[in-house]
Amino acid sequence: MSGLKYVFDDVYVIPISFHNNYSQANVITLVDQFTAEGPYGLVSEQVDVKIKQEDVVFDVGAWIGDFSALAAAQGAIVYAFEPTPNT
């Protein structure tokens, strides 16, 4: 059981009520209100990542691949690299 500590060490829970509206826009808006960054990095008027079908995405420092999974789900061709073997 002690191994799970390292899996969940950097996970935190934010109590947010979605009122049964789980659309992507609503979830991202509510999460952005409670975190300094959006769920996949900085989102501002100057920076906003838009992934389209057939885009090529290089996720360098992919960690567990959550951004890679998002990009792949949107139809991108994804190359994910994690240089640190223990992450």
By the 8 A CB rule, do 62 and 80 touch? yes
Give tens-digit pLDDT for 58-82: 988 888 888 888 889 889 999 999 9
27 and 44, same domain (yes or no): yes
Mark whether 39 and 81 lie in a shared domain: no
Residues 8 and 26 in one domain: yes
Which residue range is the domain that position 71 belongs to?
A: 50-87
d(CA 71, CA 67): 6
Tokens encoding 33 = 């209100």
Answer yes or no: do 44 and 31 share one domain: yes
What is the C-alpha to C-alpha distance for residues 39 and 7, in angstroms, rounded to an integer?
18
pLDDT for position 1: 44
Tally of domains within the chain: 2
- pLDDT surpassing 90 at residue 51: no
Residue with tokens 């979605």: 18
Burial 34-46 (b: 16+ CB within 10 A, else e): eeeebeeeeeeee
Q: Are residues 42 and 6 in the same domain?
A: yes
The model carries a pTM of 0.48
